[in-house]
Amino acid sequence: MGLKPIGLVATAALFAAPLIWLPGIAAGRDLGALFSQYLGMTALIAMATSQVIATRWPGVEGVFGALDQSYRLHKWLGLWALAASFLHDTIDADMRGLGAETALVDAAETAGEISLYGLLLLVVITVATFIPYHLWKWTHRFIGVFFVLSAFHYLFILKPFSNGDPLGLYMGAVCLIGLMAYAYTSAPRGCRPSKPYRIRSLTPEGDALAVTLEPVGKPLRHRAGQFAFISFPELGLTEPHPFTLSQAPDESGALRMTIAPLGDYTIRLMSRLEEGAEARIEGPFGHFGAVKGPQLWVAAGIGITPFAAMAGALQAGDGPVTLLYSVRKRATAAHLSELEAKAASGKFRLVVRETATEGRLTADDVRKLAGDLSGLHVMYCGPAALRDALWEGLKGHGLSARRFRYELFEIRTGIGLKRLLAYLTERRGAVKAR
Ligand SMILES: Cc1cc2nc3c(=O)[nH]c(=O)nc-3n(C[C@H](O)[C@H](O)[C@H](O)COP(=O)(O)OP(=O)(O)OC[C@H]3O[C@@H](n4cnc5c(N)ncnc54)[C@H](O)[C@@H]3O)c2cc1C
């Protein structure tokens, strides 16, 4: 469930394309400066591709893979854009004999500088995941402004080819596509394709709230395990948030989302939602879902939602499936009685782990329950720390990365700084102990 190879190949091809024309321009030129210009071009290509991913167009998942993975590529492209812009600024890109320094060229130079420092600031805010999401989201919208400045810089700066040459046309097309994608993502919410729904019922499910929605027009078509973005414009909750569709698709087109009050927005939802209110749904997204053959599904807390849908979609002959559901207390667990009733029909085995009385779930527990891991698919949804612990504890016992799939409920991810820090502290501790 990683990035699709086709997406990676397409991105690599976009980066490599200028190399078709650069050798033809290189004769008699300062090669260091030409390399610096190529770095600048890769920064633009990275920014434009990143803007396209941010549109969440249906084709994005088709080319790059599930949206959470596509967003990882989006983040790394942003980091590359920053690194390449920095190097482009550091390695002198000036060449002799390219023409006169006009006011427009000066403005292009200034635009490039502003864009570099703006990007630096925004990328640092992006990877500093301790900065609250809504602050990050607010600042992140300016990243497109810096892309516009970069495109302006590129178009009007002196360079060893013209905007009408094949390389100029290619880079012009890259800028145009990136700018169109940015305009689309910044357009008012109503301009984005979303489907109208109405809240049919609100049901407490342990600590969470199950929101059942009925379509107002044509319903959304989804597979069990997918998610969608929801907003409630009528209630003043206009920012779309992602939630898993926690019920298997049915004929009526009704959808259900089970929402845990974990932050500002989700806590606000609990008191504001009312039956009959309008909702806008954008999606579906994601490639998480049941596979063929024997499966162990491991859910922790609200991570039960994709499995609640997948359990409802199981057909005779699927699996066999064991669902291990780790809950703090049975009374606070979402969809427990529904799952117990479904498991009683024999479609899957349900094992509930109540951590308040039985202690935290470990990889050893999962290994004991699973028995032979070779040939078994393990699917996980829950906190990242438990995902890492399970993978560490299971990978040496016959589980391959291909057969370990997970959904993390996290779109904004860091660059592993916390893990690096933990590793360095551990190493320092080990050296001291010696
Ligand atoms: C694929 C996916 C499926 C999910 N399914 C469920 C589910 O079934 N049930 C459930 O309770 N939760 C689910 N979540 C998590 C849910 O989206 C967040 O808990 C919710 O958006 C938090 O918003 P908040 O403002 O209340 O919390 P905050 O404390 O402000 O945010 C907590 C974290 O949620 C993420 N987040 C916040 N706002 C957004 C947004 N607009 N878009 C994307 N991410 C955001 C950020 O990573 C942030 O760090 C899912 C998330 C993803 C990515």
Q: Is 244 in the pocket of ligand 1 (CB under 6 A)?
A: yes
Q: Which of 327, 344, 283, 335 is nearest to 307 (CA)?
A: 335
| Ligand 1 mean position, distance from CA 49 (Å) | 24
Q: How far apart are CA 282 and CA 312, in angstroms?
A: 22
Are 172 and 163 within 8 A, CB to CB? yes
Closest CA to 307 of 336, 346, 267: 336
Domains of the chain: 5-187 (1.20.120), 191-285 (2.40.30.10), 295-407 (3.40.50.80)
Q: Using a 6 Å cutoff on CB, does residue 227 contact ligand 1? A: yes
Residue pair 198/276 in contact (Cβ under 8 Å)? The answer is: yes
Give me 259's structure tokens. Answer: 């929402």
Burial of 58 (0-12, 13-18, 19+ CB in 10 A): exposed
Q: How far is the CA of 258 from the centre of ligand 1 (A)?
A: 12
Q: Whose CA is nearest to atom 24 of ligand 1?
A: 263
Query: Which DSSP string corresponds to 221-279?
Result: P--TT-EEEEEEGGGTEEEEEEEEB-S---TT--EEEEE---SHHHHHHHHH--TT-EE
Alpha helix (H) residue ranges in 157-197:
166-186
End-to-end CA distance of the chain: 41
- Token look-up 């893990």 returns 419
Q: Are 136 and 413 in contact (CB under 8 A)?
A: no
| Spacing, Cα 352 to ligand 1 middle (Å) | 25
Q: Are 275 and 234 in contact (CB under 8 A)?
A: no
Q: What is the C-alpha R_g of the chain?
A: 25
DSSP string, 28-74: TS-HHHHHHHHHHHHHHHHHHHHHHHHTT-HHHHHHH-SHHHHHHHH
The rounded distance, in Å, linking the Cα atoms of 339 and 295 is 16
Helix axis angle for 166-186 and 143-156, nearest 10°, is 160
Q: How high is the pLDDT of residue 346?
A: 87
Structural element, H or E, at residue 384: helix 384-394
Ligand 1, atom 37: closest residue by C-alpha: 133
Are 159 and 98 spatial neighbours (Cβ–Cβ below 8 Å)? Answer: yes
Which of 357, 324, 326 has its CA nearest to residue 343? 324
Does residue 413 line the site of ligand 1, with CB under 6 A?
no
The predicted structure's pLDDT at residue 308: 97
pLDDT of res. 246: 97
Residue 137 near residue 89, CB atoms below 8 Å: no
pLDDT tens digits in sequence order for the chain, 434 residues long: 678 899 999 999 999 999 999 999 988 888 999 999 999 999 999 999 999 999 988 889 889 988 888 988 998 999 999 999 999 999 988 877 777 889 999 999 999 999 999 999 988 888 777 788 888 888 888 889 999 999 999 999 999 999 999 999 999 999 999 999 999 988 876 677 889 999 999 999 999 999 999 999 899 999 999 999 999 998 988 888 999 999 999 989 999 999 999 888 899 999 899 999 999 999 899 989 878 889 999 999 999 999 999 999 998 788 799 999 999 999 999 999 999 999 998 889 999 999 999 999 998 899 888 888 888 999 999 999 999 999 998 888 888 888 999 988 887 766 666 666 666 666 666 555 55
Q: How far is CA 54 from the centre of its chain?
A: 9
Distance from the alpha carbon of residue 383 to the mean position of ligand 1, in angstroms: 12
| Interstrand relation of 208-215 and 255-259 (parallel, antiparallel or unpaired) | antiparallel
Mutation probe of ligand 1 site: the residue of 134, 411, 418 with most atoms within 8 A of C-beta:
411
Tokens at residue 119, please?
């990007």
Which of 85, 76, 81 minimizes the C-alpha distance to 113? 85
Q: What is the DSSP letter of 206?
A: T
Contact present, 85 and 150 (Cβ < 8 Å): yes
Q: Coil, strand or helix: which one is 407?
A: strand
CA of 152 from ligand 1 middle (Å) equals: 35
**17 three-class SS:** coil
Instruction: Give residue 193's pLDDT.
Output: 82
Q: Of all atoms in ligand 1, which is nearest to the CA of residue 411?
A: 53
| Ligand 1 within 6 A of CB of 322 | no
Q: How far is the CA of 270 from the centre of ligand 1 (A)?
A: 14
List of residues 6+ apart from 359 with CB closer than 8 A: none
Q: How is residue 150 written in tokens? A: 């970069």
